[in-house]
Amino acid sequence: MSSTAYDYISMEDTRRLERETDVRHEWWDGVAIAMAGGTIRHGVIIANLHRRLGNALDGNDCRDYHADIGIRSITTDRLTYPDLSVVCGDPQTHPSDDRALTNPTVIVEVLSPSTEATDRGNKLQHYMSIETVEHVLLVTTQGEERVEHFRRTDLGWLFTSHRAGDTVKLDAIGVSLAVDDVYDRVPAEPPPPVKKDDEASV
């Protein structure tokens, strides 16, 4: 999902901007980033995840939330909008922000070229710093179909990579997620744009 960064702005002004523009803004240390829409592939993957996880959690004390629901850390005060999150038990909101949850168990980010570096970098470390988070999934949208799984253990975070035919086990919520289901009916990647030199040679 692409984004646009702003100059220094307070969290309060960021929330006011969201109400005025109806545009989500991730916030960290005085920087607000407006979140734009994603590709069709990106949207289909997210829809698949919501459907599969939502069905699997039916009757469970956990529920999934879409990207309109922010996650705000108590310790870092960072506000993010993961593509999908799962909260178990009663949802808890930030003391100064009743529009943001603080106790996710699962975080899912569907990668895009414009956000992949951040999602793999400081944002991943941020999610790992939230005490309630047990699983973080990074889902690719380009190249090989792959779900990267970061799972909290007594010895630290364990990383595994899953491809077509594999199953991702989310033990903390009692759900197994098939990679094939994540990519069900996802349209093929569009061909690369034709360069002007190629056009001239035809």
Question: What confidence tens digit (pLDDT) does each residue in 24-51 have?
Answer: 777 777 787 777 667 889 899 999 999 9
- The predicted pLDDT at position 113 comes to 82
CATH superfamily of 39-187: tt1808, chain A (3.90.1570.10)
What's the pLDDT tens digit per position in 49-85? 999 999 999 999 999 998 889 999 988 889 999 999 9
Question: What is the C-alpha separation between 87 and 178, in angstroms, rounded?
Answer: 20
CA distance 80 to 84: 11
The CA distance from 34 to 68, in Å, is 13
Confidence of residue 131 (pLDDT cuts 50, 70, 90): very high
For residues 127-147, give the mean pLDDT: 94
Tokens 């400081």, residue?
122
200 has a pLDDT exceeding 60: no
Q: Which stretches within the chain are classed as H helix?
A: 11-21, 40-56, 116-120, 122-129, 179-182, 196-201
Rounded Cα distance, 30 and 28, in Å: 6
Query: How many other CB atoms are there within 10 angstroms of residue 132's CB atom?
Result: 17
- Domain spans in the chain, listed from the N-terminal domain onward: 39-187
Expressed in percent and rounded to 5, the helix, strand and coil fractions of the chain are 25, 35, 35
At residue 136 the predicted structure's pLDDT band, cuts being 50, 70 and 90, is very high
Q: Which amino acid is it at 25?
A: H
Give CA–CA dist 27/7, Å, rounded.
Answer: 11
